[in-house]
């Protein structure tokens, strides 16, 4: 059991490090990329809908959305049908970030450190 | 309902160009202005040019209550995604449903002919036979209120009972259980493997699209109407060319 937990912890740390590295080098973390790529095909969706689609808790999503909004990658507006609700769309900046990430992620994943840490998963 | 050419609307329109989007338009009252004689409806030369330009850059469809044969005489579209008779004709044609619709229309025409006297010679009321559906027009009637009531009472007696879709001074009779514009839009998205859709229409028949519980569809109505389920609106049909230019620019055109 201990070895399984140790493996999980190592995996979690490797993922955390990969996420940070991706954000620093490519402008988006893996989670942010996943959110943007999903939002690209759901323009004007609600945060709840996006959370459901990516399988994330809405409160966790809020933090990621705030970061994406600060980067100018998403646009948050009032729902045209219900002013109490919000809708999300990806901006042109977001589209460019997606392109940059897609172009560089293979290189990032194949860099020695991550490859070593993610071995066996 | 929000104005489509507001900051939010423009942002949404731009975001549609980042993925594989279907741009779908109603014809009468949307691409072409409403005219008193439906046979004279025509999109302007500029609208047609812009629509073709957009169709070169993205997937464009027209979903109309008119028959496909009629639409072809009014608009040429690269890709030829013309969907007629509220979805009965077009990409996802179901032979059985089409045959049933044609038979129902023949039945209804016969029955209407026999009871047409109830309209007491109102020359402004006429039937448009679209083969798979009927449109009863009363725009040119001098007493529209009376004409509408008389038409309702004629339709009530039809056998088999039709599905009735009210439009602007027109009553559309379709076979019950047949598709509608919403079904047609979803089928087109599926067949063309598109991720989301933008649809704009002006009439009650377009509410079948506006009410679809599908977050992949962005909807707009020509003319603001409180009871409409569309998300956005254009103030008037004459704003259509501006919208087309915005969509062309968003999709990389000039």
**Nearest residue of chain A to residue B251 (CA atoms):** A92
Tens of pLDDT along B94-123? Answer: 677 778 888 999 999 989 887 777 666 666
Tokens of A71: 């980067």
- Return the higher-pLDDT residue of B148 and B122: B148
Q: How many CB atoms lie within 10 A of CB A31?
A: 20
Q: Which residues of A touch B1 (CB under 8 A)?
A: 80-81
| Distance (Å, whole) CA B8 – CA B158 | 46
Report H helices in chain A.
Answer: 2-26, 30-40, 47-54, 58-70, 92-110, 112-117
pLDDT at A115: 65
Contact (CB<8Å) B11/A91: yes
> pTM for this one?
0.86
Report H helices in B93-142.
Answer: 95-115
Asked if the C-beta of B8 comes within 8 angstroms of chain A's C-beta atoms, the answer is: yes
ipTM rounded to 2 decimals: 0.82
Q: Which residues of B touch A92 (CB under 8 A)?
A: 14
With H, G, I as helix, E, B as strand and everything else as coil, classify residue A80. coil
Mean pLDDT of B56-85: 89
pLDDT at B93: 63
Contact (CB<8Å) A81/B195: no
The order of strands in the sheet holding B82-83 is B2-3, B232-234, B217-222, B196-201, B21-25, B59-63, B82-83
Asked if the C-beta of B214 comes within 8 angstroms of chain A's C-beta atoms, the answer is: no
Q: How far is A82 from chain B (nearest CA, A)?
A: 8
Contact (CB<8Å) B12/A44: yes
- Find all residues with CB under 8 Å of B89, minimum gap 6, and list them: B67, B68, B83, B98, B132
Q: How far is B160 from chain A (nearest CA, A)?
A: 37
Tell me the percentage of chain A whose pLDDT exceeds 70. 91
Q: Considering only the beta carbons, identify the residue of B1, B7, B196 that sits closest to A43.
A: B196
pLDDT at A113: 65
Q: How far is B254 from chain A (nearest CA, A)?
A: 17
Q: Which residues of B touch A91 (CB under 8 A)?
A: 11, 14-15
Which of B8, B195, B199, B219 is most worth mutating to test chain A (most A CB atoms within 10 A of its CB)? B8
Asked if the C-beta of B186 comes within 8 angstroms of chain A's C-beta atoms, the answer is: no
Q: What does the DSSP assignment read for B212-232?
A: ---TTEEEEEES--TT---SE
| Distance (Å, whole) CA A33 – CA A109 | 14
Contact (CB<8Å) A41/B216: yes
Tokens of B37: 């004689």
Tens of pLDDT along A69-105? Answer: 999 999 999 999 888 999 999 999 999 999 999 888 8
Does the pLDDT of residue B194 top 90, yes or no?
A: yes
Q: Cα separations (Å) of B53 from B1, B34, B80, B112, B184?
A: 28, 23, 14, 43, 23
Asked if the C-beta of B108 comes within 8 angstroms of chain A's C-beta atoms, the answer is: no
- Centroid of chain to Cα B109: 22
Mean pLDDT of B82-102: 81
In contact, B64 and B81? CB cutoff 8 Å: no
pLDDT band for position A49 (cuts 50, 70, 90): very high
Q: What does the DSSP assignment read for B51-95?
A: HHHHHHHSEEEEE-SS-HHHHHHH---TT--EEBGGGTBSTT--H
Contact (CB<8Å) B12/A90: no
Q: Which residues of A touch B195 (CB under 8 A)?
A: 41
Mean pLDDT of B72-98: 81
Q: Which residues of B touch A78 (CB under 8 A)?
A: 2, 8
């Amino acid at each position: 059991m201990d070895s399984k937990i140790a493996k999980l912890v190592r995996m979690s740390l490797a993922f955390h490090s990969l996420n940070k590295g991706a954000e620093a080098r490519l402008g988006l973390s893996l989670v942010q990329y996943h959110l943007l790529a999903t939002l690209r095909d759901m323009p004007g969706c609600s945060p709840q809908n996006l959370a459901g689609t990516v399988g994330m808790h809405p409160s966790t999503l809020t933090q990621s959305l705030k970061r994406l909004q600060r980067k100018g990658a998403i646009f948050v507006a009032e729902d045209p049908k219900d002013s109490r609700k919000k809708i999300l769309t990806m901006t042109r900046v977001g589209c460019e970030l997606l392109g940059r990430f897609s172009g560089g992620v293979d290189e990032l994943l194949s860099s020695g450190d991550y490859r070593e840490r993610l071995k066996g998963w | 309902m929000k104005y489509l050419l507001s900051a939010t609307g423009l942002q949404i329109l731009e975001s549609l160009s980042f993925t594989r989007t279907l741009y779908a338009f109603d014809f009468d009252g949307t691409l072409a202005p409403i005219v008193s004689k439906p046979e004279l409806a025509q999109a302007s030369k500029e609208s047609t040019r812009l629509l073709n330009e957009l169709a070169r850059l993205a997937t464009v469809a027209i979903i109309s209550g008119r028959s496909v044969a009629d639409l072809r005489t009014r608009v040429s579209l690269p890709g030829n995604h013309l969907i007629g008779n509220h979805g009965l004709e077009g990409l996802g044609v179901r032979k059985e449903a089409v045959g049933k619709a044609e038979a129902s229309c023949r039945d209804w025409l016969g029955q209407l002919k026999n009871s047409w006297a109830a309209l007491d010679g109102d020359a402004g009321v006429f039937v448009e036979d679209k083969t798979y559906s009927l449109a009863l027009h009363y725009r040119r009637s001098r007493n529209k209120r009376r004409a509408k009531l008389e038409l309702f009472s004629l339709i009530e007696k039809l056998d088999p009972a039709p599905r009735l879709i009210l439009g602007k001074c027109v009553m559309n009779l379709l076979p019950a259980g047949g598709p509608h514009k919403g079904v047609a839009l979803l089928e087109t998205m599926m067949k063309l493997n598109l991720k989301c859709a933008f649809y704009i229409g002006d009439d009650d028949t377009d509410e079948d699209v506006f009410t679809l519980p599908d977050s992949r569809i962005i909807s707009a109505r020509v003319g603001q109407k409180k009871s409409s389920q569309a998300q956005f609106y254009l103030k008037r049909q004459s704003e259509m060319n501006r919208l087309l230019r915005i969509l062309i620019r968003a999709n990389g055109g000039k």
